[in-house]
Amino acid sequence: MKTKILTIATMIAAVLAASSVASAHELTGGNSNVSAGNVDVAVVFEFGSGSVTINENGNVNIAKVIEFGGNVDSTIIQTGAENIASVFQVGGTTNSTIVQSGGINNASVTQIGYNTNSLIGQAGVMNTGIVQQFGRNTWPGIWRHDWWRGRRW
């Protein structure tokens, strides 16, 4: 009788241990998947004339571009739930194009040069953008489409 009880107790303990280890393993995997899910980060720094192209389509997209040079050009395309783009350019002719499509879009452009051109296109629920241009010839353009209100301006 004693042996039988010991055997049953051993089996129950083993099953409980197995289930607890399996549960802990599943929880760990779930948490890690959530924390590491769908994030794109791109940082580009250039010193000299050049062009940058960034295309991101994660859930959260972050792009930062810093350019110093004669003629610099930057193009950023982001499609995701949350998009953040930042461009800082210094040069003779600076061109920046940002296109964002998603729930929350944030774009920031700062340009210093003789000719500064900036174009921002945003389609989403909450769109925010800042363009700062310090140049002889400046051309800023912002196009927005608010999905929530169904209007554009």
Partner 1 sequence: MKISLKTMAAVLASAALSTPYGASAGAISSISVVQFGAQVQPVVISQSSQVNAVGVLQVGGSVPSASVVQTGQNNFVGILQFGGNTSANVGQVGETNVSFVGQSGGSANAVLGQIGQLNAGTVMQFGNVNSSTVVQIKP
Which residues contribute to the site for partner 1 (CB under 8 A)? 3-4, 7-8, 10-11, 13-15, 17-19, 21-22, 25, 33, 36-59, 61, 63, 69, 80
Strand partners, 65: 44, 87
Q: How far is the CB of 6 from partner 1 (least distance, A)?
A: 9
- In the complex with partner 1, the residue whose CB is nearer, 64 or 144, is 64
What are the strands of the beta sheet with 60-68, ordered from one edge? 60-68, 71-146, 151-152
CB nearer to partner 1: pick between 23 and 128: 23
Q: How far is the CB of 100 from partner 1 (least distance, A)?
A: 14
The type of residue at 142 is I
Q: Report residue 42 as tokens.
A: 């791109």
Q: How far is the CB of 106 from partner 1 (least distance, A)?
A: 17
Compute φ and ψ for 16, nearest 5 degrees: -60, -45
Q: Measured from the CB of residue 10, what is the shortest distance to partner 1 in angstroms? A: 5
In the bound state with partner 1, the residue whose beta carbon lies nearer, of 5 and 151, is: 5
The torsion angle over the Cα atoms of residues 18, 23, 24 and 29, rounded to 10 degrees, is 130
